[in-house]
Structure 1
């Protein structure tokens, strides 16, 4: 998707892509802030046990290859990823880079965005059963802190994109 926006950015926006990119960044930033508010309102109350995220329980018994496939599918439809991908692709496209540099920028975005999940998948794949205690501890931490992590992520991404959007427009 970032490739699509990076490729179509200059075509769709004409000679000066800044207004379109700025408005897109502001919109996606506001969407992230809305998601942060939604996350805050749905967090567990004091003394309540947080629910395990659905995606976390869904991958517990899948093979390595199926986990990778499911991860790619979920990444494509996740609002956080979708918003960030649209913003990144538009920014890369608006930079007016030659095709080769655009491809490198998109590849760098994809690899950096996937690096944590690739590291976890590689750890499980390469270390096998020796990695199980570490991965189970990580799973428990994610289940207990998912709402907090997502809240912070949404606030920071929203602030970054709103700041970038204002900087682009002003």
Structure 2
């Protein structure tokens, strides 16, 4: 199990390093809603990742992806290569748009979010509306489904992977819970920096992850 988690660590950390997700939690925290909306938002991110990856693993294992010589196993490797190439293409697009530092329009309405809407945005931003996270979750699901582990360990891997994916966003949430009086002072500088450098951060992540996925898929096919 530890070997599988180590293999997934890069993907999990890359999902965690999502500037806009972290900024959203910071905005909730600095508006005084970190304990409520921030909690709902992070739960939305976590639950989507766990359920989505879990379903992919279930589908993959039912089709025999945990058997090294199966066609399904090879298909996962091919999909991983395609996803890696897609991330490299996104890196080029992100770099071309690096001059834009404006946050998404929905962030301007974060102060007025209800708990339900905060949860829904967490679900959407953690995959369906994320050009980075969705392919990474697909790759993670494929990787886990290929592992020859008992069911209980597979479940543990999926749950731990989900925790890794929300770890960075949980930091400003934790500050809002532990030290609500100092949230503005501690998080404002981080928010400004993340928004200003969003494109560069995403470009670097896209390149690193694209190369990793392509290399992993090619090595599996060759081995």
TM-score range, shorter chain: 0.7 to 0.9
Instruction: Look up the match of 2:208.
Output: 156
Do the aligned residues in 2 keep the contact of 1:3 with 1:106 (CA within 8 Å)?
yes
Deviations 1:109-129 (A, max 9, x none): 100111001122121233213
Instruction: Look up the match of 2:111.
Output: 61
TM-score (norm 1): 0.87
**1:28: Cα distance to partner?**
0.9
Do the aligned residues in 2 keep the contact of 1:52 with 1:143 (CA within 8 Å)?
yes
- Output the CA distance in 1 between the equivalents of 2:75 and 2:97: 33
TM-score (norm 2): 0.67
Q: Work out which of the residue numbers 30, 33, 38 in structure 1 matches 2:88.
A: 33
Deviations 1:115-169 (A, max 9, x none): 0011221212332131212211111001110000000010011011111001111
Give unpaired runs (5+ residues) of structure 1: 45-49
Whose relative contact order is higher, 1 or 2, with alpha carbons under 8 Å and at least 6 apart?
1
Deviations 1:9-40 (A, max 9, x none): 12234642431121011011011101101101
Do the aligned residues in 1 keep the contact of 2:101 with 2:197 (CA within 8 Å)?
no
**1:63: Cα distance to partner?**
6.2
Residue 92 in structure 1 maps to residue 144 in structure 2 = yes
User: Bigger CA drift: 140-149 or 64-73?
Assistant: 64-73
Do the aligned residues in 2 keep the contact of 1:18 with 1:169 (CA within 8 Å)?
no
Over the residues paired in the alignment, what is the CA RMSD in angstroms? 2.2
